[in-house]
Amino acid sequence: PRGANAISNANERNHHAHIPECNIALLGLRGSGKSALTVKFLTKRFISEYDPNLEDTYASEEVVDHIPVMVKVMDTADQDGPVACERYLYWAHAFMVIYSIDNKRSFEGCQLYLDVLSRHIKESRHDYPVLLLGNKLDIERYRQVSKTEGLSLATTYGCFFHEVSACQDFEAVQMVFHEAVRQVRRE
Ligand code: GDP
Ligand code: MG
């Protein structure tokens, strides 16, 4: 993929840093835009074609509220809903559950992930932050999931909610990743 060089450069730059880590796992059905959001956050660029089977973890040294943090992002690549969840459940400090606002099925898929996460939170007795994100806000004209529905699902599971676009402004995408860091710090 075209974004890979920029990502590995970022990894090399961060290789020797000794600062607190914040591990964020991106979950959601295929096609919701997890890889596009990951690449946007890491490189400020929108990559429209990304290998749908590629699952990897990337690192970026960030400064959130004037405090440095090593943000690690696991861009998961489940085929069709949650399987073998241990790989991120026991790794992540925060979870982003992502759907595409133009795809009702991707929204329904979020419920599966939110159920897995709420069970994990109950069992581990640790209140890991969960952020529900509606992606592809730029194609609002094809919207199938209203903002109210998104907000309502987030309220049911007690999580943060925001709508974003991987191909519009970087600041909004950066904001949700930084919000995840803030919520982890509050734990
Ligand atoms: P993933 O399977 O969740 O990793 O999804 P991808 O990041 O591979 O994105 C799936 C498809 O949606 C690709 O064709 C992307 O170009 C497209 N896509 C991702 N994010 C956006 C977005 O914010 N807006 C639009 N219009 N397309 C997007
Ligand atoms: Mg992907």
pLDDT band at 10 (very low <50, low <70, confident <90, very high): low
Region 117-127 average pLDDT: 95
Could you tell me if the CB of 23 is within 6 A of ligand 1?
no
What whole-number distance in Å separates Cα of residue 130 and Cα of residue 128? 6
Q: Report pLDDT digits (tens) over 51-92.
A: 999 999 999 999 999 999 999 999 999 988 999 999 999 999
Residue entry with tokens 């429209």 = 48
Instruction: Count CA within 13 A, CB hemisphere, residue 53.
Output: 0
Q: What is the dihedral of CA 130, 134, 137, 142, to 10 degrees?
A: 180
Q: Which of 20, 24, 19, 21 is nearest to 128 (CA)?
A: 24
Which tokens in the block code for residue 174? 């950066």
pLDDT for residue 45: 96
Residue entry with tokens 């979950």 = 27
* Longest Cα separation, the chain: 45
Q: Which atom of ligand 1 is nearest to the CA of 36?
A: 7
pTM: 0.91
pLDDT for residue 79: 87
- Complex ipTM, two decimals? 0.99
Task: Find the 36 Cα to ligand 1 centroid distance in Å.
Answer: 5
